Structure formats: structure tokens, C-alpha cells
């Protein structure tokens, strides 16, 4: 009888120990998961009014408004002097303010999406972005490789519109700007079409 009692006590100790171990692991895992979720939220989703999290660290976006304190009258006088210095008649008229330029690569990507959609299912007339794409070829910030890709895009649009002569002209211009633009086969195909 003693052996049975010892066995039952030992079994109870093992079961209770296993239960406590599993409960402890579940609690630890739960706490770890909650901690990870809090960290992810604070890292990526919680943004205060004047702090932005970026890949380069934390930067200040806004400055807290000036709260006057007793004795800050001299600070206000300095602020007024700064404002006086920025009046339009005092600002140097020779300083040239350049307008914001668009990111030409982003523009090209947008135009490419619309042009590819047109090439897949051409409509009765060319899309309205053709003039914008032509303007992009003359953009100051565009390099020859981007210009070549843009001319290729124009060639593809006109080829989808069955305007072989214009498509060939744009392909040849693209090839002249960048030999790796990938239009040699298209040029050969269109030249055969024009010869026949």
C-alpha cells in the first residue's frame, strides 16, 4: 500500500510540476509577445506631434510654440528684429528661388504604368499622357538613359497605335541615346514592315 501511495504522490508531484512548468512557459511566452507588440507599436506606429522616426534616427519636425515667461521680453525683441530682416523690400532681390522640380524617375514610372496599360489594350486614341512623356524627354534632370527609356515608351505607344513611322523614329532616337535600351529587334521588325 505504501508503494501505491508513494507512486501516486510522485505522479501528483510530476503532474503539478509539469502543469506549473507549462503555465510558466505560457506566461513567459505571453509576456514576450506583448513586449514585442508594444515595441513594434512604439517603433513604427506611435508618432508624437513633433518627432518622426526615420531610418536615420529621430528628427524634430515641429518646434514647440514659444511660451513667454517673465523676463522673456528681450527674446521677443530679438524675434521682432528677425521678422524685420525678412521683409520683402529688405530681402536681396538677386537671390533666385528655384521652383520645386519633380522626381523625373517617379514621373517616368507613373507614365510607364499608364502606357503599358494602353499597349495591352489599345483604345481608339492615344492616352493624354503622350504630351507629358514628350515633355519628360526634355526635362533638365533627366539623364540619357532615362531619356532613352522615355523614347522607347513613346515608340511602344505609337506602335500599339499602329503608327509604324513614328514608332520607328522614337525607337531609333532611344537607341541613339542608349545602346542597351532594348529596341534593336523592334527597329528591325518595324523596318521590315515599312519595306514591304
Give the domain range for residue 164: 104-195
Place of cell 541613339: 176
Identify whether the C-beta of residue 174 lies closer than 8 Å to the C-beta of residue 187.
no
Look up the pTM and report it: 0.48
- Evaluate whether residue 90 is within a structural domain: no
- Evaluate whether residue 81 is within a structural domain: no
- Evaluate whether residue 111 is within a structural domain: yes
Is residue 140's pLDDT more than 90?
A: no
pLDDT at position 71 is 52
- Evaluate whether residue 47 is within a structural domain: yes
Span 108-118, pLDDT tens digits:
888 888 888 88
- Evaluate whether residue 112 is within a structural domain: yes
Span 11-41, pLDDT tens digits:
888 888 888 888 877 787 778 777 777 776 7
Identify whether the C-beta of residue 151 lies closer than 8 Å to the C-beta of residue 177.
yes
User: How many separate domains does the chain show?
Assistant: 2
Amino acid at each position: 500500500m505504501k508503494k501505491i501511495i508513494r507512486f501516486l504522490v510522485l505522479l501528483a508531484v510530476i503532474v503539478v510540476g509539469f502543469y506549473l512548468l507549462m503555465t510558466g512557459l505560457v506566461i513567459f511566452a505571453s509576456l514576450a509577445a506583448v513586449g514585442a507588440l508594444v515595441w513594434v507599436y512604439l517603433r513604427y506606429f506611435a508618432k508624437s506631434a513633433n518627432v518622426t522616426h526615420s531610418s536615420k534616427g529621430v528628427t524634430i519636425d515641429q518646434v514647440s510654440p514659444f511660451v513667454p515667461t517673465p523676463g522673456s521680453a528681450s527674446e521677443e525683441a530679438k524675434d521682432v528684429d528677425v521678422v524685420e530682416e525678412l521683409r520683402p523690400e529688405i530681402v536681396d532681390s538677386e537671390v533666385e528661388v528655384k521652383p520645386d522640380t519633380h522626381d523625373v524617375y517617379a514621373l517616368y514610372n507613373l507614365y510607364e504604368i499608364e502606357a503599358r496599360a494602353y499597349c495591352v489594350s489599345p483604345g481608339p486614341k492615344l492616352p493624354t499622357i503622350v504630351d507629358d512623356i514628350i515633355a519628360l524627354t526634355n526635362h533638365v534632370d533627366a539623364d540619357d538613359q532615362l531619356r532613352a527609356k522615355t523614347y522607347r515608351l513613346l515608340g511602344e505607344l505609337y506602335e500599339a497605335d499602329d503608327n509604324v513611322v513614328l514608332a520607328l523614329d522614337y525607337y531609333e532616337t532611344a537607341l541613339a541615346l542608349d545602346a542597351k535600351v532594348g529596341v534593336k529587334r523592334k527597329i528591325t521588325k518595324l523596318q521590315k514592315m515599312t519595306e514591304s
